[in-house]
Structure 1
Amino acid sequence: MRSRSPAAARAVLLWSILPLALAGCGGDTAPEEAARPVLVTRPMSSTHTANAFAGEVRAREESPLSFRVGGKLVERKVDVGAHVRQGDVLAVLDPGDLQAQARAAQAQLIAAEAELGRARADQARFGKLAKDQLVSRSTVDAQNAAAEAAQGQVNAARANLEVARNQAAYSQLRAPRDGVIATRNAEAGQVVAAGQTVFSLAADGVREVAFALPEGMVAGIKAGQPVQVESWSQPDKRWNGRIREIAPAADPASRTYAARVTVDAPAGALELGQSARVYLAGQRNGDIAVPLAALQRAGGRSAVYVVDAKSSTVKLVPIQTGPYGEDRVPVKNGLAADAWIVAAGGHLLRDGQKVVPVDRDNRPVAVAAASTAR
């Protein structure tokens, strides 16, 4: 008997397998989809929510320092960050012209005093002659007037000398109080005008946090409102504070309102220029709040996935939210306070999908039936 060729053997094998394959494809039921693990949480009280704003530690008193006279800056004695004491010399102008003016005023005073001496002598001499009726009364009056005029010239020359000496002293810029040099706006060799800012001094004492409020929130925030302040360098510590002032007009570039917060922090806890966060208490538009990561969109509205305890499925529930906080948003209505919601990953779910609720440690959560939505 002649043996089959390899091609004929492969054909026989294919026809024997094909019925089995068709039988396997003819089933009526698909494999059931496995339940998806989801991180769940319950809404928290909205009193725990807060709006946070980035700020900068500043001094309560910040003074721009400038010379009271103009001139060429010949020496700068301090730099940014230097701590200075009241009366310390910070910068020096070329005093040459000012000292020359003082010498000129001194010479004018000497000349005026000499003229006064001559006028006084003439006044005394003509007074004696008037007693002997050797000169007229009008001549005596003229000498008296000349003496008074000479006295006035001396007074004016003395005042001019005092001004010139003061201006010569103004060639040295001194610290008005203890503090830290915050900014520097001029260098040696530069010609500065009277009143032009050379340094900015942050006075020692009370420290504040400066931050900006958006237009949409400024109407609901008032001076004196309590806040909490957290330093970026000490994230585990918060200090109580109060809003001291809010600018009456918005910044034309950022459209935000500058605000200042006084902080009840111990001395040395906050350093100038440090970054800080200002926490404002969230507005109580609702009694509960949900994480921002839990929010979804349904028909143009905010929504969250709520776990159904009976069917172990999720349902997309529309909610009405209040002003957004840093990481949570208050819920006005649409959600029960004891509901279990999907805290993250909702974009991977669909309505009615089977889930397995777990906590942040990946442990199963026993979900109880929630009460009626608010």
Structure 2
Amino acid sequence: MPRFKLFRCCLLGAICVLGASVLAQDEGGDVGSSGVALPVPAVKLVDAAPSEASAERSFFGRIAARETVDLSFEVGGLLVEFPVVEGETVEEGALLAHLEYGPFERAVEEAELALAQAERDYERASQLAEQNVASQVQADDTRTARDLSRVALRNAREALSDATLEAPFAALVASRLTAQYSNVQAGLPIVRLHDMSEIRVEIDVPERLFQRATGPDSVRFHGLLPQVEGPIPLELVEFDAQTGSVGQTFLVTLRLPELNIPTLIPGATMTVIASTDIDAGAGIPLPATALLPGADRAARVMIYEPEGETGGTVRAQEVQVTSISGTDLTVSGLPDGAQIVATGGHLLNEGQRVRPYTGLSVEE
């Protein structure tokens, strides 16, 4: 190549490099060791401002009845009728089972005859005592025997009544606990019933959620079911006043509104969402990607400081990190109104020039 042409090519290259360097200085960008302008990186920013102070958790809920009871006879005997069917609904006062009535009816008849005899003995002894033929002590003894016979008759009649088992409330029959034609003893469970006048759901709530709540009324619950569109409002009924032995959780019972869903029976599951107000002064929420670990294990963030209309520089700021809900991170030690690099801060240097990321754009 002729020497003149080589000189001209080198001169044009130098002019291009010099122009790029001047342009980079005009735009506030950095220049590499070769003198070529380095591109200004775009960074996504988040505002360091307190958001709505609330924490939210999802729980596995188990449907429960208002009450679940095991019914039994107060007397023993032969179970001759047991018409209930598992899974059916029975009305209040409906017949659930009864024992053989014969022995109890005979006991009532025997007690009635004994009372009649005791009343006659008392009348005879009273007349003799008035005529001074018999002592007053004998009259008092026959009166006591009469009173005992009355008590025995009441007991016999109550035993006959207890031989019939009726539903104490409108209930769902959960299970039959014994077989028909069995000789049952007093107190042996016969049938298990669910009181479905109120449908409830039970969840285990961690101690942390209650400690962060600003008050009992600040915890709000709603449930999710595939059969129902949208959230279902739930009302707090009660909770155990002591934590479970495993996991430090409280058993919380919630009330569901009236839902005409046949499959919503005890043992079914639903998702329960609990949200609670928390102390807004506990810190500023930031994504985990915004935090940068330091050599001394202290956490840092990159703060964006605007310079001009198109960009600015970044600087490192040490912060204190806490966790309110156990899943979200909050920081303190940031100036008011600061803009934080949301991700990629570990790729930036102190004082490096950057520009805010505003999304992709297409030029026509």
Q: Do the two structures share a fold, i.e. TM-score over 0.5?
A: yes
In 2, are the aligned partners of 1:122 and 1:143 still within 8 Å (CA)?
A: no
In structure 1, list runs of 5 or more residues that go unmatched: 1-27, 131-136, 365-374
1:254 aligns with 2:254: no
SS in 2 for 1:274: strand
Q: Which residue of 2 aligns with 1:350?
A: 347
Q: Which residue of 1 aligns with 2:223?
A: 231
SS in 1 for 2:93: coil
Amino acid at match of 1:214: P
1:167 aligns with 2:174: no
Residues 186 and 330 (structure 1 numbering): CA distance in 2 closer, same or farther, change over 3 Å?
A: farther
| Aligned with 2:259 (options 264, 268, 286) | 268
| Structure 1 residue 256 displacement after superposition | 1.5
- Partners of 2:302 and 2:90 lie apart in 1 by 60
Q: Which residue of 1 aligns with 2:205?
A: 213
| Structure 1 residue 268 displacement after superposition | 3.0
| Structure 1 residue 160 displacement after superposition | 1.9
**1:262-297 CA distance string (max 9 Å, x none):** 67xx64399664321111112223463223554453
SS in 2 for 1:45: coil
In 2, are the aligned partners of 1:285 and 1:331 still within 8 Å (CA)?
A: no
Alpha-carbon RMSD across the aligned residues, in angstroms, is 4.6
Q: Which residue of 2 aligns with 1:102?
A: 104
1:297 aligns with 2:293: yes
Amino acid at match of 1:86: E
Residues 126 and 245 (structure 1 numbering): CA distance in 2 closer, same or farther, change over 3 Å?
A: closer
| Structure 1 residue 250 displacement after superposition | 1.4
| Structure 1 residue 119 displacement after superposition | 1.9
Q: Which residue of 1 aligns with 2:321?
A: 321
In 1, are the aligned partners of 2:292 and 2:300 still within 8 Å (CA)?
A: yes
Identity of aligned residues (%): 14
Residues 85 and 188 (structure 1 numbering): CA distance in 2 closer, same or farther, change over 3 Å?
A: same
| Structure 1 residue 197 displacement after superposition | 8.9
Amino acid at match of 1:282: I
- Partners of 1:56 and 1:177 lie apart in 2 by 26
- Partners of 2:204 and 2:58 lie apart in 1 by 7
- Partners of 1:212 and 1:64 lie apart in 2 by 23
Q: Which residue of 2 aligns with 1:22?
A: none
In 2, are the aligned partners of 1:42 and 1:337 still within 8 Å (CA)?
A: yes
In 2, are the aligned partners of 1:51 and 1:282 still within 8 Å (CA)?
A: no
| Structure 1 residue 255 displacement after superposition | 1.9
In 1, are the aligned partners of 2:223 and 2:233 still within 8 Å (CA)?
A: no
**1:312-351 CA distance string (max 9 Å, x none):** 6765543223433376433332354341431xx549x433
- Partners of 1:116 and 1:300 lie apart in 2 by 95
In 2, are the aligned partners of 1:306 and 1:317 still within 8 Å (CA)?
A: yes
- Partners of 1:338 and 1:34 lie apart in 2 by 24
SS in 1 for 2:293: strand
- Partners of 2:360 and 2:278 lie apart in 1 by 31
Residues 126 and 202 (structure 1 numbering): CA distance in 2 closer, same or farther, change over 3 Å?
A: closer
In 1, are the aligned partners of 2:209 and 2:325 still within 8 Å (CA)?
A: no
- Partners of 2:64 and 2:218 lie apart in 1 by 19
Q: Which residue of 2 aligns with 1:154?
A: 149
Residues 236 and 100 (structure 1 numbering): CA distance in 2 closer, same or farther, change over 3 Å?
A: closer
| Structure 1 residue 192 displacement after superposition | 8.2
Q: Which residue of 1 aligns with 2:67?
A: 62
| Structure 1 residue 302 displacement after superposition | 4.1
- Partners of 1:351 and 1:193 lie apart in 2 by 81
The 5-angstrom pairing of residues 1-374 of structure 1 reads 29=34, 39-54=44-59, 56=61, 61-69=66-74, 75=82, 77-79=84-86, 82-89=88-95, 91-92=96-97, 95-96=99-100, 99=101, 101-116=103-118, 118-119=120-121, 122-123=124-125, 126=128, 130=131, 137-139=132-134, 141=136, 144-145=139-140, 147-169=142-164, 172=165, 174=167, 176-178=168-170, 180=172, 184=175, 186=177, 188=179, 194=187, 196=189, 198-199=191-192, 201-205=194-198, 210-221=202-213, 224-233=216-225, 237=231, 239=233, 245-260=238-253, 267-268=258-259, 273-286=269-282, 288-292=284-288, 294-298=290-294, 299-307=296-304, 309-310=306-307, 317-325=317-325, 328-334=328-334, 336-342=336-342, 346=344, 349-352=346-349, 357-358=356-357, 362-363=359-360
- Partners of 1:257 and 1:119 lie apart in 2 by 66
Deviates more, 1:103-112 or 1:61-70: 61-70
Residues 321 and 179 (structure 1 numbering): CA distance in 2 closer, same or farther, change over 3 Å?
A: farther
- Partners of 2:207 and 2:84 lie apart in 1 by 43
Amino acid at match of 2:71: S
Amino acid at match of 2:286: V
Residues 208 and 45 (structure 1 numbering): CA distance in 2 closer, same or farther, change over 3 Å?
A: farther
Residues 153 and 226 (structure 1 numbering): CA distance in 2 closer, same or farther, change over 3 Å?
A: same
- Partners of 2:109 and 2:43 lie apart in 1 by 94
**TM-score (structure 2 length as normaliser):** 0.64
SS in 2 for 1:319: strand
Q: Which residue of 1 aligns with 2:17?
A: none
SS in 1 for 2:339: coil
SS in 1 for 2:347: coil
Q: Which residue of 2 aligns with 1:134?
A: none
| Structure 1 residue 257 displacement after superposition | 2.2
